[in-house]
Amino acid sequence: MRVDISMQRMRTAATAGLRVIVRQLEPLLLAFLIVAVVLLVSGYDVPAVFKSLLGSFVTDFYGMLRWATPMILTGLATAVAFRARVWNIGMDGQLLIGALAGGAFALYVAPLFSPNLGVLVVLIASLTGGALWALPAAILRVRWGVPEIITTILLIEIASLLVSWLVLGPMKGQGALGASMSTDQVDQSMWLRPLKWQEPATVGFYISVAVAIFIGWYLMRSRHGFEISIFGDNRQFASYAGMNNPWIVVRTMLISGALAGLAGGLEVLGSMHRLPSEFAANLGFQGIAVSLVAGNNPFGIILGGVFFGGLKAGGTTLQLQTETPRDVVDIISAIVILVITARVGYQFLGRRQPRLLSRFVRSVQEKEGA
């Protein structure tokens, strides 16, 4: 009898787990489906596109990890904010300023230190830069109630213009030519070590994973993490319970911005080795997709980051092999965001969600139960 009960429990637990995974994969599958239709209509060879896109998970392993590095961080930046229901969607701006601060320190300050210490200084500078770029939005929000969803996105544009101006002007490098304007190269001693010779991924990937684990611990165990979860669940309750809500918003935004800023610093030290006048890789935006697919869970974000990193790397191969624009990858992220947002929207409206696979799972479950 007891055995029966525990078996049944395990089975329900297993189906519940399956449901969670299916629930997270659904938007991805749906996104692939829509992209397939778009490609088909536009006259591309759909199987070839997907083969080359997904093939890179195997063929371009280090390219996948290279792109996973910043995406895990921007994903974490999203998760910290979204868990508190603070809508920082300006990770691209914070990443740019993080890269700017990191680049500036790498060029002008870090040479004063030993290389290892120099790297540390650069990374701290990029963390701080990202955090500072999130600060105005946080202040506008808690002081005057300006929605951060608007201010953070506007700050992207400002960041981008600021970086362009600095790189084309005061920070312009000696050998910079033509369209690819940039600063001087960062001293080679500070470049992050590649995971394998001549491969794009660096130890920056380990840094990202370590940060993800730390953030996971922070959200689940720290006092601020506790406040974030309560605040994110019910703001009215948080203030009733005596939590200092403005301060929670500010701290959350600072951490979120710092994480995005760190992604920028790692880009400079790990991949670009200099600060170009513009690099619009949409890494912040894709971080939203990463975090949403992972259900804002830091550990899931490691997987999500690797997955989207693989897509991003695949996008490059794709363009070379099939003449399909690599923007396909952005389209996939965009659709993932749309699908998940729509689902959350449905929850807000209190409607039953239109679930494809989970409905199927449920019906299987019901049959089992009956």
Partner 1 sequence: MTTLRVEMHQITKRYGDLTANDGIDLVVEPGTVHAIVGENGAGKSTLMNVLYGMVRPDLGSIDINGERVDLTGPHDAIRRGIGMVHQHFMLVPSLSVAENVIIGSAPTRGGLINRRQAREIVRRVSDEYGLQIDPDDRVGELPVGSQQRVEILKALYRGAELLILDEPTAVLTPQEAVELGRVMRQLTESGKSALFISHKLKEVMAVSDEITVMRRGRVTGRFSAGETDERALARTMVGREVMTTVAKAPAESGATVLEVRDLAANDDRGHQAVRGVSLSLCAGTITGIAGVEGNGQTELIECLAGLRPTLSGEVRLSGVEITGASPRRRRTLGMSHIPEDRLKRGLAPNRSVAENLVATTYRSASFTRFGVIRRAEVRSNAEEAIGRFGIAGRHDQPVAALSGGNMQKVVVARELAQDPDVVLIAQPTRGVDIGAIENIHREIVALRDRGAAVLLVSAELDEVMQLADDLYVMYEGRLVAQLDPTAVHENEIGMHMAGVTPGRSNAESMTGGDRAR
Residue selected from 15, 164, 185, 229 as contacting partner 1 according to rule CB under 8 A: 229
Residue selected from 108, 165, 226, 247 as contacting partner 1 according to rule CB under 8 A: 226
In the three-class reduction of DSSP (H, G, I as helix; E, B as strand; rest coil), residue 197 is classed as: coil
The 10 Å Cβ neighbour count of residue 363 is 10
Total site size for partner 1, rule CB under 8 A: 19
Question: Is residue 15 close enough to count as binding partner 1 by CB under 8 A?
Answer: no
Residue selected from 189, 222, 341, 347 as contacting partner 1 according to rule CB under 8 A: 222
Residue selected from 2, 43, 221, 351 as contacting partner 1 according to rule CB under 8 A: 221
Binding piece for partner 1, criterion CB under 8 A, among 66-74, 105-113, 223-231, 260-268: 223-231
For 59, the token pair is: 């063929």
Question: Is residue 230 close enough to count as binding partner 1 by CB under 8 A?
Answer: yes
* HEC per residue, 121-156: HHHHHHHHHHHHHHHHHHHHHHHHCCCHHHHHHHHH
Question: Is residue 224 close enough to count as binding partner 1 by CB under 8 A?
Answer: yes
- Looking at the Cβ atoms of 164 and 245, the one nearer to partner 1 is 245
Cα dihedral 216, 220, 222, 226, rounded to 10, equals 130
Residue selected from 233, 323, 327, 368 as contacting partner 1 according to rule CB under 8 A: 233
- Looking at the Cβ atoms of 255 and 311, the one nearer to partner 1 is 255
Question: Is residue 197 close enough to count as binding partner 1 by CB under 8 A?
Answer: no
CA–CA dist 310, 54 (Å, integer): 7
Q: Which of residues 235-274 bind partner 1 (CB under 8 A)?
A: 236-244
- 329 and 307 Cβ atoms separated by less than 8 Å: no
Residue selected from 2, 223, 351, 367 as contacting partner 1 according to rule CB under 8 A: 223
Binding piece for partner 1, criterion CB under 8 A, among 121-129, 148-156, 159-167, 215-223: 215-223
- 230 and 243 Cβ atoms separated by less than 8 Å: yes
Contacts of 239 (CB under 8 A, 6+ apart): 245
Cα 284 to Cα 244, 277, 328, 345, 353: the distances in Å are 28, 17, 17, 22, 28
Closest by alpha carbon to 256, among 135, 104, 123, 112? Answer: 135
- 123 and 109 Cβ atoms separated by less than 8 Å: no
State the nearest-atom distance from the C-beta of 31 to partner 1, in Å.
26
Question: Is residue 214 close enough to count as binding partner 1 by CB under 8 A?
Answer: no
- Using only the alpha carbons of the chain, give its radius of gyration: 22
State the nearest-atom distance from the C-beta of 214 to partner 1, in Å.
13
State the nearest-atom distance from the C-beta of 238 to partner 1, in Å.
8
- Looking at the Cβ atoms of 226 and 360, the one nearer to partner 1 is 226
State the nearest-atom distance from the C-beta of 251 to partner 1, in Å.
12
Q: Which residues bind partner 1 (CB under 8 A)?
A: 221-226, 229-230, 233-234, 236-244
